[in-house]
Amino acid sequence: MPPSLSFPSIGLSSFEGEKRGLNMSFEEIRGQDQVIRLLQNALKNGRVAHAYCFAGPEGAGKKKAAIEWAKALNCENPASAPCDRCRSCRRISNGNHPDITILAPEGASIKIEQVRELQRRFSFTPPEEVTRVVILHQAETLTLQAANSLLKFLEEPVARMVAVLITEQVHSLLPTILSRCQLLRFRPLPPVLIESSLVEAGVDPANARIAAHLVSGVEAAEKLAGDDKFAPVCERMIKWMGEIPSGKSNPLVEIQTVWLADFDPGEMNLLLDLSLLWLRDLLNERLGVTGDSVFVGWKESRRHQASRWTISGLLNGMEAVIQARQALAGPVQPQAVLERMVLAMQGGPKHVVSRRSPFQTSG
C-alpha cells in the first residue's frame, strides 16, 4: 500500500487542528503582513516561484498561509487573494481538492517512500487551469534519503507545480534544498494579537490575556484558555505564591498535596510559567508600572502580595523559577525541584539553588 499522501486522507489534521480556520482570507492571517504582501505581489506580477520555504515559530500562521496560497494559485476568480467562493477554493477549504497534496511525517520523519509516491503522482500533467501544490509539513523531519530525493524533484520542477516547505527549524534543512526555495520568514505573533483574537472568539478576557502570554499562536492559546483546569490553576497558583513570603511550610506541603496530586508532571511547566508571569506582575506593581499587567483580574491580590515582597526578593524569586523551569527539562523529580524553588524564594540556605542568582543583593 502506498504511503498516505492525498489531501483528503492526510487531511487538515496535520494543520493546526480544525477545518473551521481554513475558510478564511490572507487578511485574517495576523501579524504576517510582509509575507502576505510578497505572495500577493508574486501572483499579481506573474512571478510565482516553484518552491517556497515558510519558516517561523509554531503558531505564526505558516500552515494556514500555505493553504491560502494554494487557494490563491487555483482560484477561479483570478486576483491577488482567493475568493473563497469558487468551486476550487471551497474544495481546498474542505480538504478534498485532488491536486493539493500534504506530505506530513509518518511517525517521526518524512520517509523516502513518501517522496517517491509524491513524484509518481506529480508525473501526470495536470489540467491546464490547475496549479498543483504540495505542502511539506515539518520539512525538517525529512530523512537524508528523502531529502536527497526531494532535491531531485525540486531541481526538475514539474510544470504548474508549487512546493511549500513548512518548518520551525530552517537551519535543519539541507542547504541545497533551501537554496532552491524562496525563503519567507514568519514572525512570532505578539501577545496583543493573540489576546484580541481570543476575545473575539468569545474567550474570557482575563483568561485570554494570560494564555496569550504563555504560548505562541492563537490555536494553542485558545486551547489552553479553554481547558477546564486553566482558571483553577491560575487561582491556586496565586494563593500558593501568596503563602511563600510567610516562610511557613504550607507552600512546601501543597507541592505534594495539591500540585503533584492533581496535576501531571508535564503540567508543572504551566505552573512555573504562570508563577513567573505573576512575579513579574508583582515586580511591576512594586515599581508602579501596572499598565501591562498580565493578571488583570486579580488587582487586589497583586497589590496585597506585592506589598509583602522586596524588589530584590521578587528578582530572586523570578531567578529561582527560571532555574526550576530549566531543571525540569532534565531527569529530575518535580517535587525536589519545586521544593528547592520555594526554599530559595523564602530565603533559605544558599545551597538550595545551583548557583547564586546574579540578581541577588546583599542585606
* pLDDT computed for residue 184 by the predictor: 96
Q: Are the CB atoms for 68 and 93 separated by under 8 Å?
A: no
- Reply yes or no on whether the pLDDT at 183 is more than 60: yes
Give the domains, in start order, of the chain with CATH numbers: 7-188 (3.40.50.300), 228-352 (1.20.272.10)
Question: Would the pLDDT of 222 be above 70?
Answer: yes
Q: Enumerate residues 6+ apart whose C-beta is below 8 A from 237.
A: 271, 274, 275, 278
Angle between helices 218-226 and 205-212 (to 10 degrees): 130
More confident residue, 220 or 249: 220
Per DSSP, 81 falls in state: S
Separation of alpha carbons 272 and 294, rounded Å: 15
**What is the reported pLDDT for 291?**
82
At 292 the pLDDT is 87
> What pLDDT digit, counting tens, does each position of 71-85 carry?
999 998 877 778 888
Rounded to 10 degrees, the C-alpha dihedral 330/332/333/339 comes to -90
Alpha helices in the chain (DSSP H): 7-10, 33-44, 62-74, 87-94, 112-121, 144-155, 175-178, 191-200, 205-212, 218-226, 230-243, 250-254, 260-262, 268-287, 299-306, 311-327, 334-345
Of all residues in the chain, what percent carry a pLDDT higher than 70?
A: 87
For 271-308, the DSSP string reads HHHHHHHHHHHHHHHHHT--TT-S-TT-HHHHHHHHTT
Q: Looking at this protein, which amino acid is placed at residue 129?
A: E
Percent of the chain scored above 90 by pLDDT? Answer: 46
Q: Residue 81 is placed in which grid cell?
A: 487573494
The one-character DSSP state at 99 is: T
246 vs 354, which has greater pLDDT?
246
Q: What is the mean pLDDT of residues 355-361?
A: 37
- Kindly state the average pLDDT of the residues 18-26: 48
Average pLDDT, the chain: 83
Reduced to 3 states (helix: H, G, I; strand: E, B; else coil), residue 129 is coil
pLDDT (0 to 100) of residue 265:
66
pLDDT score at 266: 66
The DSSP secondary-structure symbol of 100 reads E
Whether 336 and 260 have beta carbons less than 8 Å apart is answered as no
**Per residue in 142-180, pLDDT tens?**
999 999 999 988 888 777 889 999 999 999 999 999 999
pLDDT in tens, 303-331: 999 999 989 999 999 999 999 999 988 88
- Mean pLDDT for the stretch of residues 45-61: 91
